[in-house]
Amino acid sequence: MAKNEKVTIYDISKKLNISAATVSRALNNNPKISEKTRELVMKTAQELNYKQNRLALALKSGKTNSIGVIVPYINRNFFSAVIDGIEKQLTPHGYNVIICQSHEDAINEANHITALLNTQVDGIFMSVSKTTHDTVHIEKILENNTPLIFFDRKKDIPGVSSVTIDDFRGGYMATEHLIQQGANRVAHFCGDLNLEIYRNRHNGFLKALEDYNIPINKNLIIHTNSRIEAGAEAVAKLWAKKNRPDAIFSSSDYAALGAIQELRKLNVKIPEEVGVIGFSNEPFTKYMELPMSSIDQTPVTMGEIAAQVFLEQINNKQHVLSVEKRVVLAPELVIRKSSNKAKSLKGTLPVSTE
C-alpha cells in the first residue's frame, strides 16, 4: 500500500491472525504446515506484494549469497569473459556477483578485499594485480575463513584453489608454430616476469627453441608491457639493428598489434618476412585487416570452472577444512594470417583456423 513501507512476514501474520513463525514456515514450504494455511499465506503474500528481506536472512544464516570478483580491469575481454563464466554458473544458484577493479594497483586490491569481507561475501574470486607483491592483504581473506579462488593470475598460498591455463604450453605452442612456419630467429616480447603467467610463457618459449635446436639469442627477448606502444617501440628497436628476427611471439595481443602496425610502416611483409603471434585472443585480433594469430585462454570456461570449484569447496567445507584444487586448462592455438604462410591450412592442422 504505502509506498515506503516494506511488507514483512509480520504484516502477513497480523492480517491472517497467525504467528510470524507459521508464515515463515509456510513461505519456505516447511512440510509441517497444513496445506490450507500454506495456500492462505502464499496468497496473502502475493496480495501484499511481500518480498523476502535477504538482509535479515543473511544476518541470521551468516550467508549473503553474494560473491566478490576482483580483476584488474573489467574492460578487457579476457576478464569480462571470465566473469561471464562465473556468473553463468552462479546465478542459477542464487548468487549475486559483486565486481571490483583493482586497476592493477595493490592498494585498491586491498581496499576491495576489506570491503568485500565487511559485506560478508560468501567467497572471493580474484586475479591479482601486477603490482601485488606481498600477500598479507590476501591472506586476510583466509583468516576471515572466506573461500578464495584465484584465476589466471595467482599467488602461491597454501590451501587456495586456482584455475589457470597452462601458460608454459601456450608459450611453447606459439613458438613451435612459428618455427614450423620456417622461422629460426624468433623474437619474444615478454611481459612483467614478476607475474607467473609471463614467466611461464617465457619458459615455454625457451623450451620450444631448445627442442628445435635453436640457440637462444638474448637480443631477441624484449621486455614490454601490454600496451600497443610498447610493441611498436620494440619493433623499432629490433629493426634498428642488424640480425633482425623472422618471427615474433608476443605475450600480449596489444603489444603484438603495435608490432604489426610498426612493421607495416617499415614495409615489412607479414607473414612472409615476419610471422607474428600474440597471446589472449582478444576479439580485435580477429577483426584486423590482417587477422592476428593468438593463443586462446578459454576465459569463459575458466570462469565456469572457478565457480564450480567454489561450489565444491563450500559444500565440502564441513568435512575438509583446506581443500585445495589447482585446475590447469589447456590453451588453444588460433592460427590466422599474421603467422600463416600457407595459402590454406584448413584441415591440415589439429587447431582452429579462421
Partner DNA sequence: TAATTTGGTGCAATCGATTACAAAAAGTTA
Partner DNA sequence: TAACTTTTTGTAATCGATTGCACCAAATTA
Question: How many C-beta neighbours within 10 Å does residue 10 have?
Answer: 11
19 binds DNA (CB under 7 A): yes
Q: Give which of DNA, a second copy, none residue 20 binds (C-beta under 5 to 8 Å, depending on kind).
A: DNA
Q: Which does 97 bind (CB under 5 to 8 A by kind): a second copy, DNA, none?
A: a second copy
Give how many residues touch a second copy by CB under 8 A.
49
Smallest Cα–Cα separation from 189: which of 229, 132, 241, 153?
229
Site string for a second copy, 311-350 (x = CB under 8 A): ----------------------------------------
Residue 104 and residue 131 in contact, taking contact as beta carbons nearer than 8 Å: yes
Q: Which is nearer to a second copy, 99 or 268 (CB)?
A: 99
Query: x-or-dash pattern for a second copy, window 219-258, by CB under 8 A?
Result: ---------x----------------------------x-
Q: Does 257 bind DNA (CB under 7 A)?
A: no
Site for a second copy in 50-109 (CB under 8 A): 51-56, 58-59, 64, 66, 73-75, 77, 80-81, 83-84, 87, 94, 96-101
| Nearest one of 128, 260, 269 to 189, comparing CA atoms | 260
Residue 304's closest CA among 128, 147, 92, 109?
92
Residue 60 CB, nearest approach to DNA (Å):
4
Where b means 16+ CB within 10 Å and e means fewer, 234-273 reads bbeebbeeeebbbbbbbbbbbbbbbbbebbeeeebebbee
If binding is defined by CB under 8 A, does position 48 make contact with a second copy? no
Among 1, 2, 9, 47, binds DNA (CB under 7 A): 9
Tell whether residue 110 is a contact of a second copy (CB under 8 A): no
Q: Cα 257 from chain centroid?
A: 22
From residue 268, give the alpha-carbon distance in Å to each of 67, 129, 173, 274. 49, 35, 24, 7
Instruction: Pick the binder of a second copy from 134, 156, 272, 289 (CB under 8 A).
Output: 289
Q: How far is CA 221 from CA 206, 217, 218, 262, 287, in A?
A: 10, 7, 5, 17, 28
> Of the two residues 300 and 314, which places its CB atom closer to DNA in the complex?
314
CB neighbour list of residue 32: distance below 8 Å, 6 or more residues apart: 25
> What letter represents residue 280's amino acid?
S
Nearer to DNA among residue 19 and residue 352 (C-beta): 19
193 contacts DNA (rule: CB under 7 A): no
| Contact call for residue 22 and DNA (CB under 7 A) | yes
